Amino acid sequence: PEKATFFITEWLNNVDGIFPLEVQEAWLQGQAYRAILVTIQPDYINDDEFLPSTADNGLEFIIKLGSKVFKTTKEQLALQDAGIYNDSIYYIILAIPMCVVVTFVGMYFFLYLTKGNRDFSDIKSSVLKSRHRVIGRIKDIKKFRGIKNHKYEELPQFKKVSKQN
């Protein structure tokens, strides 16, 4: 009765109260999924009077294609048969690490060849050591000259006094 209705079951025994539904791919009409409405028409309502969109009972759910494992499609196989391999992506995948490796190898040889031409004497430890400022002993410093440095004394200790001692 309605244009959007795409499937109507035969008359079923209401006493069963069950209908097994196997979703058909043709119902999707080329789409990945579709929303559908299921309504029940009892026998006391005529076909002309029953409109699924205005029925007081209805259940909406989604029908969709199941999961698919990606494999080489027929189109891809046809292209391969014609000698067309769309493998430019593999060149890109291989080129990036190759560039890195070549760079590092070149850098190694460059450093090897220029090893006699480098002068790092100004940052060697002996140079840095010679630049350290020697401030001398504390007592020779003018600021601390008057300080009297006491010798170490033992801390007072608790002496136990007992009757036995």
Partner 1 sequence: WRDVVMPRPKDTTTTEAPKPWVRTIYDSAKEIVTPTVIAGITFSAEPDKESDPLKPWVSLKKDGSPVTIKPEIKNGRTKNAYPSYSTYFQNVYTTSLTYEDLGKPQNMDPDDIFEKEIFVDDDDTYTSLNPVMRCTPLSYFQKGPAKNILSEPFCSPREKTNLKVDDTYFITWYTKFFTHPVTEQIAEKVRLHFTYVKEDARDKNLHKR
Interface residue list for partner 1 (CB under 8 A): 2, 4-25, 27-28, 32-44, 50, 52-53, 55, 57, 59-67
Least separation, in Å, of the C-beta of 71 and partner 1?
Answer: 16
For the CB of residue 47, give the shortest distance to partner 1 in the complex, in Å: 10
Give 14 or 86: the residue with its C-beta nearer to partner 1.
Answer: 14
For 99-122, b/e burial (b = at least 16 CB within 10 A) is eeeeeeeeeeeeeeeeeeeeeeee
Nearer to partner 1, 70 or 158 (CB): 70
Are 42 and 56 in contact, with CB atoms under 8 Å apart? no
Structure tokens at 72: 């080489």
The residue among 56, 41, 44, 31 whose CA lies nearest residue 5 is 41
**Closer residue to partner 1 (CB): 61 or 108:** 61
